[in-house]
Structure 1
Amino acid sequence: MVSEVAAIPEGETGFDRVLRFTIPARNARGRVVRLSPVLDLIQGAHDYPPVIARLLAEALVIAALIGSLLKDGEGQMTMQAQTEDGIVDLLVCDYHGGELRGYVRHDADRLAGLGANPSLFALFGRGYLAITFDMASTGQRYQGIVPLEGDSLAAACEAYFAQSEQVPTLLRIAVRSEGGRCVAGGMLVQHLAEGEEGRERLHVKLDHPEWEHIAALAGSIRHDELIDSALSLEALVWRLFHDEPEVRVEAGNPLQRGCRCSIEHYASVIGQFPEDDRADMRDEAGLVSVDCAFCSRVFEIPA
């Protein structure tokens, strides 16, 4: 069985909480996270086969890492991988104020013909990855779209940051299922922009020596370290960067399952449709059935 978070020293960070860190001398920032209880809650709403469960676990770790980059505490990050002809035709995860949710739509019959460890291309075919940031404080939306390429979702997200934001980024993800539970961990490290108006900005130089140094250290992390529940996230960061003159760490708030479906929400949405459309939606009892893909619940809404 996966051991409990109590195995780590008191006051240090274990499951379901993002640890933020910065390395000022190297103009670098990072995030590290390990998910398990919240992962069980999200995946428990669906009877996913092991391949899809691992894919969703990887996506939820990435969502927690990227979403925690938001300075806007009420903002939302949505990651969507989509294709028209893939075995997986839709994967969507979002992060909103420490709340996570995710869903994978797939063709079970075609999936059964694959092996235990199919490639990203075998699952999706030719698709795209879209990452969207909705900023609550300003009402602005930012979106970047890149081809869904590489060996993993993490590799596709690295390409997103390189192409859409020109920020050198390293992502490492590990997933393990054991004893009926799933544990997944991940680390994100980036080279921050430096300079002021009129100066060259470091984040457009992918071969900058400071970034090469940090990427080499972060890239040495092992999969078993990311999912070792007896190893605190602070200890993990220390293992990698203890030779740096200063590493600042800060634990975020606990992560929670955050499906925002409710009868009130759906009633409000349905109420915006014209009466003729609402009449078409109603069943013989005068109710509109709404199926939430995220939590796999059906809501019967008076319309």
Structure 2
Amino acid sequence: MGFTIPARHARGRIVRLGPALDAILASHAYPPRIARLLAEALTLTALLGSTLKHKEGQLTLQAQTEGGAVDLLVCDYRGGEMRGYVRHDPDRLAEAPVEPSLFGLFGKGYLAITFDQAVTGERYQGIVPLEGGSLAEAAESYFSQSEQIPSLVRLATVFRGDAGHIAGGIMLQHLPEGEEGRERLHTRLDHPEWEHVRALATTISPAELTDETLSPEAIAWRLFNEEAEVRVLETTAISRGCRCNPQHTRDVIARFPAEEQAAMADEHGLIHVDCEFCSRRFSIALADLAA
């Protein structure tokens, strides 16, 4: 759910994930700490992706690192559909503390956020060092360094046993007067109205973000009920959406020369292509390609 506070020149997003999150996590048998990390990353991706102007656009969040238990994390969002994947080293994860820091998980690396505007063809990417105590802090650093937008991000996730996972998040941003969307005129980092709404937003608790009985509208009301006006924007349903496609995979392989196709095949004449996002394998026969 999106919202704006016109008198404070602020906009926000509130996200809660349940079944869609479980559907994504179910594709891999992630250890609890890695599952929680991906849940937070998917929540952040939903917060960022919901700012896209057109449903055909795509938001991609990627963390690539070295020296940590996790060396790749990637999530993307398009039209309310999300997918995500984490590649990690089980041995390094076993050596890490029970609750490792962000650096303990990733080591040295960077966070890249890419906005692809399908309608206009514009593509914007910001890259910042992966720093801070959490993904939320890394995202705030991204907005501060890459976009010069004062922002607050809070992420929370909880595992409910047989009931699955639930995650929630809120993102609040300051917009200069006269600005709409992502086209900025300028930013005043010392704006007192921003400090006011930021102080209110910091009172949100992880329990509130993950409370299924508390709607996003109710959260906005709890935080900002004393404001003169809070405009609630359209709510977007979020679902798991992996775009792997057997026919597309076949078409791509068919473009390779016959000798390269033969080098890819196993002893049975099959080329296997794996989708890391959903753990599906597509097997393509050389004989079918030749035909």
Shorter-normalised TM range: over 0.9
Establish whether residue 218 from structure 1 lines up as the match of residue 201 from structure 2.
yes
Farther-moved stretch of structure 1 (77-86 vs 61-70)? 77-86
Q: CA deviation at 1:288?
A: 1.2
Establish whether residue 169 from structure 1 lines up as the match of residue 151 from structure 2.
yes
Establish whether residue 150 from structure 1 lines up as the match of residue 139 from structure 2.
no
Aligned to 1:283: 266
Match of 2:33 among 46, 51, 69: 51
Say what the alpha-carbon RMSD is for the aligned residues: 1.4
Aligned to 1:68: 50
Aligned to 1:12: none
Matched-pair contact (CA < 8 Å) for 2:68–2:92: no
Aligned to 2:21: 39
Identity of aligned residues (%): 63
Task: Show the 5 A alignment for 1:14-163.
Answer: 19-163=1-145
User: For 2:236, what is the secondary structure of its paired residue?
Assistant: strand
Provide, for residues 6-60 of structure 1, a one-character-per-residue CA deviation record: whole Å limited to 9, x for no partner.
Answer: xxxxxxxxxxxxx110111111110001111111100001000000000000000
Provide, for residues 45-94 of structure 1, a one-character-per-residue CA deviation record: whole Å limited to 9, x for no partner.
Answer: 10000000000000000000000000021000000001122210000000
Q: CA deviation at 1:295?
A: 0.3
User: For 1:252, what is the secondary structure of its paired residue?
Assistant: coil
Match of 1:184 among 161, 167, 176: 167
Letter in 2 for 1:265: H
TM-score by length of 1: 0.89
Matched-pair contact (CA < 8 Å) for 2:110–2:128: yes
* CA distance, structure 2, for counterparts of residue 205 and residue 280 of structure 1: 58
Establish whether residue 235 from structure 1 lines up as the match of residue 218 from structure 2.
yes
TM-score by length of 2: 0.93
Matched-pair contact (CA < 8 Å) for 1:192–1:202: no
Farther-moved stretch of structure 1 (144-153 vs 111-120)? 111-120
* CA distance, structure 2, for counterparts of residue 269 and residue 129 of structure 1: 29
Establish whether residue 194 from structure 1 lines up as the match of residue 173 from structure 2.
no
* CA distance, structure 1, for counterparts of residue 101 and residue 186 of structure 2: 31
Letter in 1 for 2:26: G
Q: What stretches of structure 1 move > 4 A for 4+ residues in a row? A: none
Matched-pair contact (CA < 8 Å) for 2:166–2:210: yes
Q: CA deviation at 1:285?
A: 3.1
Q: CA deviation at 1:203?
A: 4.9
Aligned to 2:282: 299
User: For 1:21, what is the secondary structure of its paired residue?
Assistant: strand
Establish whether residue 269 from structure 1 lines up as the match of residue 252 from structure 2.
yes
Establish whether residue 255 from structure 1 lines up as the match of residue 238 from structure 2.
yes
Q: CA deviation at 1:179?
A: 1.9
Letter in 1 for 2:149: V
* CA distance, structure 1, for counterparts of residue 151 and residue 255 of structure 2: 42
User: For 1:254, what is the secondary structure of its paired residue?
Assistant: coil
Provide, for residues 93-152 of structure 1, a one-character-per-residue CA deviation record: whole Å limited to 9, x for no partner.
Answer: 000110010000000111112222110000111100000111111222111100000001
Q: CA deviation at 1:176?
A: 0.8
Aligned to 1:246: 229
**Structure 2 spans left out of the alignment, 5+ residues:** none
User: For 2:95, what is the secondary structure of its paired residue?
Assistant: coil
* CA distance, structure 2, for counterparts of residue 213 and residue 165 of structure 1: 21
Q: CA deviation at 1:270?
A: 1.5
Provide, for residues 226-262 of structure 1, a one-character-per-residue CA deviation record: whole Å limited to 9, x for no partner.
Answer: 0011111101100000011110112423111010012
Match of 2:189 among 206, 225, 241: 206
Q: CA deviation at 1:185?
A: 0.3
Letter in 1 for 2:230: V
User: For 2:67, what is the secondary structure of its paired residue?
Assistant: coil
Letter in 1 for 2:81: E
